[in-house]
Structure 1
Amino acid sequence: MHDWFTEKGGAENVVSSLLEIFPDAEFFALVDFFDDEQRKKVLKNKKVTTTFIERLPFAKRLFRYYLVLFPLAIERLDLRKFDLVISSSYAVAKGVMTGPFQLHISYCHSPMRYAWDMYFPYLEEHEVRGFREKLLSYVLHKIRVWDVVSSNRVDHFIANSTLVQRRIEKYYRRRATIIHPPVDTERFSLCREKEDYYFTASRLVPYKKIKMIVQTFAKNGKRLVVAGKGPQLKHLKTLAAGNVVFLDYVDDAHMVELMQRARAFVFAAYEDFGILPVEAMACGTPVIAYGKGGICDTLVEGKTGLFFDDQTVESLDRAIEKFETMEFDYEEISRYASKFSKERFEAEVGSFIEKRWELFRRQ
């Protein structure tokens, strides 16, 4: 059970690994808008059973606007024939209905951030005002109530980071076991030859804080390469000086090369986990990161990179100045990153589920 299949990201990598563990699994989701290539990579061309949300007007482009209907849609999925249900959830998948003779294990990427800890920043970022603000507040209030109620349907939670574990405890009052998500570290081989540029990659949306990174490098004059596209691209280009290069979309091979040869990967977002920094470390590339969120589980200060304290130009610029006085062991960084490999994830999750299943069968 997954929230939705619309694009391939970290959550979908979890689904792919779960399919390696359970090759005969059947898949369910609110909607499935994968293209053929995505379906082959993530689901090995398996069919997904979806909900009525997929058939609503303009759903492919605007399905998130049907948020108020998500709980109803999830609860209409009939999973009675399954003894074991595994949900991969960052929205509503964990709310699927199961019975007393079914075991439900939820891999929680996070409780819904826009309904909980990102509620006020979300309203500010999207400039929601007036009647729209009151309507959205009411909808998200109802979603929070359902979110807590539906959390009681889960038998065991797995969290992808310490941050998410704390959110689960705070919002659901439930304990969760931390198993970090899979990172394809083998795709990012060690490179000892670094070039004189810093690198960042992301969707160009406000909460990723790429604007702050660009402003920092416009100020200090150091070379920055930015990979990614999104609604902020045009605006970011107006802020950048000649030392900042925007590459828009880059393919996988080019992404690896950019990460391998960068002096450092710059990461300024407040994320649940953060896969890109681990991929950079797999290349032996140090990471300069905002020191809150899931990155605290993956970056070792002074060994694989360093943190900066605030999401401000001044704080990041100080970290860059400090970074340039330090030396890093690229081989040690790459070895450390292997702790987050796909194989490690599959072994840990497989063992966790097997133990819980054996206990469940004995009841």
Structure 2
Amino acid sequence: MREYDMVLSSSHCVAKGVLTSPSAVHICYCHTPMRYVWDHYYTYFGNGKKGVIPRFLMPVIAHYLRIWDVASSNRVDYFVANSYHVANRIKKYYKRSAAVIYPPVDCSLYTPPESHREGDYYLIVSAFAPYKRIDIAVDAFERMGLPLIIIGSGQEEDQVRKMAKKHVQCIGWQSGESLKEYYRGCKALIFPGEEDFGIVPLEAQACGKPVIAFAKGGVLETVHGIYPHLDSSAETTQKHPETPTGVFFTKQTAESLVEAVRFFEDHKNLFNPLSIRKHAESFDRLTFKEKFKQYIEKLLC
């Protein structure tokens, strides 16, 4: 990259470490510091996981990856985070400040149906990675006896399929058009993991569908969620949005998710598909392009 005056890197791991010329401006759009050596290390490699790599090699490898991760962050001139959640982690691990520009959702592809229809199933769209906590959702929906469709695949797919019995169905990855129809046809999206940002909740909301999510991470910035366990007193009013787009559960457990789903089942009238769609439109691709363009122009002035 030594021939370029400006370099934009989109990094969740190593892209920020690109070598540029001394005079170049390097702007990194950071989706997360390397999650599997920082705050998700024990999710990936702890909890008594068996094997030579998790038990013996990874502690050594992770040590040197952390050193490299911090050192390579110094090659970046300006950080842009994809959420305030990530900006805080950049500050913690790299000791750097970051502007925040939210990633884009394709509101031209993900649209509500012409006439509103309530679905007859709940939906998860996710890679089967440890920190996604799909196991919580499978456990909860098998307990409740409610239908759950899971779209995706990954390293924990065998484990999830073994847990899925009568009420949970795993159907693998789907095309964009097919995914849109699943969004349109669901009651609500289930989002049990802690994400850096999380584009899936916005895709569902772009289709006019509410989100039931674990109240941590980027989803706090993309979903106007109701907390079922809170009353409507003055000190908690700010956690009861006038135009809610979802429901939050506060413990990463099947029991907490069950409580949130049952609340949603009893309060469906609180969620307006048009309001949910309008909220998602504020994250549209055109908005993202314009904000990034303005950010770069401001740096160059």
**Residue 308 in structure 1 maps to residue 230 in structure 2:** no
Moved more, 90-99 or 289-298: 90-99
The secondary structure found in structure 1 opposite 2:181 is helix
Residue equivalent to 1:174: 96
CA–CA separation in structure 1 for the residues paired with 2:51 and 2:188: 40
Q: How many residues align?
A: 280
Do the aligned partners of residues 251 and 132 (structure 1) sit closer, same or farther apart at CA in structure 2, a change above 3 Å counting?
Answer: closer
- Contact between 2:215 and 2:250, CA under 8 Å: does it hold in 1? yes
- CA 1:125 to 1:189, structure 2 compared with 1: closer, same or farther past 3 Å? farther
Which residue of 191, 209, 213 corresponds with 1:267?
Answer: 191
Give the letter aligned to residue 213 of structure 1: A
Shift in Å, 1:289:
0.4
1:293 corresponds to which of 217, 222, 225:
217
Q: Give structure 1 regions of 4+ aligned residues with deviation exceeding 4 angstroms.
A: 128-132
Partner residue in 2 for 1:337: 280
Please report how far the alpha carbon of residue 323 of structure 1 lies from its aligned counterpart in structure 2 after TM superposition.
Answer: 0.8
Letter in structure 2 aligned against 1:346: K
What pairs up with 1:143-292 in 2 under 5 angstroms? 143-191=65-113, 192-292=116-216
Which string of whole-angstrom CA distances, capped at 9 and with x for unpartnered residues, describes residues 74-126 of structure 1?
xxxxx221111111111111122234421111100111011111122221268
1:251 maps to a residue whose letter is S
Q: In the alignment, does 2:45 pair up with 1:104?
A: no
| RMSD between aligned residues | 1.8
- Tell me, yes or no, if the aligned pair for 1:306 and 1:323 is still in contact at 8 Å: yes
Q: Pick one of 293, 297, 301 that aligns with 1:350.
A: 293
Cα distance, 1:211 vs. partner? 1.6
Contact 2:4–2:20 (Cα < 8 Å) also in 1? no
Residues 25-49 of structure 1, C-alpha deviation per residue, up to 9 Å, x if partnerless? xxxxxxxxxxxxxxxxxxxxxxxxx
Tell me, yes or no, if the aligned pair for 1:87 and 1:107 is still in contact at 8 Å: yes
Q: Which runs of 5+ in 2 are unaligned?
A: 227-243
2:259 corresponding residue in structure 1: 318
- Identify if the C-alpha distance between structure 1 residues 125 and 93 changes in structure 2 by more than 3 Å, giving closer, same or farther: farther
Report the equivalent of 1:71. Answer: none
User: Could you say which residue in structure 1 is the equivalent of 2:238?
Assistant: none
The 2-side partners of 1:238 and 1:100 are apart by 53
**SS of the residue 1:188 aligns to:** coil
What is the CA distance between 1:231 and its match in structure 2? 4.0
Q: CA–CA distance in 2 between the matches of 1:102 and 1:225?
A: 48
Identical-pair percentage: 40
Deviation of 1:255 after TM superposition, in Å, equals 0.9
SS of match in other structure, 2:88: helix
Secondary structure, counterpart of 1:226 in structure 2:
strand
Task: Name the TM-score, length of structure 2 as normaliser.
Answer: 0.88
Note the C-alpha offset of 1:132: 5.8
Tell me the TM-score normalised to structure 1 length.
0.73
Give, in angstroms, the shift of residue 230 of structure 1. 3.0
How much has 1:129 moved relative to structure 2?
5.5
SS of the residue aligned with 1:346? Answer: helix
Name the SS of the counterpart of 2:49 in structure 1. coil
Contact 1:125–1:206 at 8 Å: present in 2 too?
A: no
* Number of the residue aligned with 1:81: 3
Contact 1:215–1:239 at 8 Å: present in 2 too?
yes
Alignment of 1:2-151 (within 5 A): 79-124=1-46, 127=49, 133-151=55-73
Relative contact order, higher structure (CA 8 A, sep 6+): 2
